[in-house]
A and B are shown apart, each in its own frame.
Chain A
Amino acid sequence: MLSRILSEDFPRSKTLTALLLVIVVSLALGPFLFDGIRAFTTLGMICVFIMVVAAYDLMLGYTHIVSFAHTMFFGIGAYGVAMAVDGMGNSFGAVLVGIIGALAVSFVLSLLLGLLSLRVKAIFFALVTLAVAFAFLSLVTQLYNITGGEDGMRVRVPRELGPAFRPFENSLPGIDVPTLLKGLLTQPWNIGQVWQEATFEVRFNGRNVMYYVLVAMATGVFLFLLRLVNSPFGRVLQAIRENEFRAEALGYRTVVYRTAVVILSALVATLAGAGFALINRYVNPENTLNFELMVFILLMCVIGGMGTLYGAIVGSTLFILAQNYLQDLLGWVGQYTAGIPLVENLLGEDHWLLWFGVLFVLSVYFFPAGVVGQLRIWALQRRNRKSPPPSGPEAEPVAQT
């Protein structure tokens, strides 16, 4: 059963399995495990970016297509919903029209981009996508009459997805895990009180409903892509990654496959963008179309591990956590280092971006194949030390380094 759902593509490393379980449980029970609006926003962003990064990994990790237009498709989804709701009122019909319209626009644009890869290869293709993405960004900024320009747009979501909607009469019980852990570490003799401090009331509202819609979307998209990469189609993509010339010589029309991947990836990004607009309720060029965002997506993909798909979950979680909480962590460490010259300065909250960078350098150094790829390599090496190398017909292939 599990094997069918995961398309037989298991984490293949105990550490990774544990890590994924923690992430998945945290996301699934998120609103009941983490108190506060900031935690809620972070959870939502992780769900959105799991989709975005998984779709990007399909292109980059599985097919070796480098595209910088991924945020464009994300933005099309976000603005599609925002504009539809703006024009037609906050009904589910409007949301649906927005999503379908955005998917249609993305389909046409990605088809054109995909066909372009017939003529323009590798780095040149990447540059063309970059140019297209920038053109789109400036278009959105210029057309402020309909897009709000730099100011962006507020998204008036349907009532059922907003804070006013209350599906349950009573509030539900929640337990704030960070508070609990902190209490257990600092005053374990006081369990009763710690527990009481950690419990909170979850006022389950429409935003939580939207969050669970996102969780469902991310789950669906992820499992679909997992099946896709383990299908005969996915194998052809890997063949194109490994040796496009040879794939062509075997009779695969590689342009068709590449185009299909570009389109699919664009559609998923669009869908994720629509989800983003509905949970964030505000879109502007900076949070949907910015080139910085594109680089972040690339980083999440690389940090998680290219060509693993699970890397999308690990990469987006680690990245978004670091982005949102590194500053807090530094502030907390800063309490204890205050007064020590130089260290005090280096660990200042204002320098979080520096440490952000240091973290990446370290992660690339110690996890050259990405977190997922490296954990798998280590697990495989451990197994090989115990038993001889693979010999069965379906022995597991080693992750790409």
Chain B
Amino acid sequence: MKRSVPLLIVFIVGSILLATYFFQNPTLDQARALLTNWGVIITAFAVGLASVNILRIHTARIANRRSGWFNSVALIITMFTFIIVGIYSRHNPQNTAAAELFSNLFDYAYSPFSATMYAMLAFYVASASYRAFRMRSFEATLLLAAAVLVMLGNAPIAEQIWTKFPVIGNWLLTVINTTGQRGIAIGVAIGGFATSLRILLGFDRGHLGYGE
């Protein structure tokens, strides 16, 4: 019972959604709309659940004074500041000060931190590519040549050095890359279809926490 009910739910929900792709039927369409709504609600609920989980983990870290506990304090304060200001400004649109505070928090706190994290990648990529791209084998040389040519093809300054750089870069991207990507996409689609079918028929139960 503990296993069969969730599997039955998965089968029924999956079959209805699958059927709506193949058949035009008002009842099926209504069922699909209802299930999609539930999906959205469940996801929204999962966001709330994740917040509670984060709170639980980090309050425990603070209580036990584990290393870096002060980072947890910062996280909880930030999280609650955003939640309180966000909810208040959303439900009191006439209060422009609250909306402005939320906007300032987003523009001058969240945005710079988030963008900084991403921008740091440029430095790591520069250092890593310098160390990793070495002509140690034929395959490595091919990869190196393709990477350099595509990079130069995307840089307007390279076009000023040699007008063929964008042409070669574009050819690599549209012909060689597309061929490989298409193969990968077809493989992923077939794999996804097989996995979906296994889940739908109850052969794959990993999503229910039962393992194989």
A and B form one complex: no
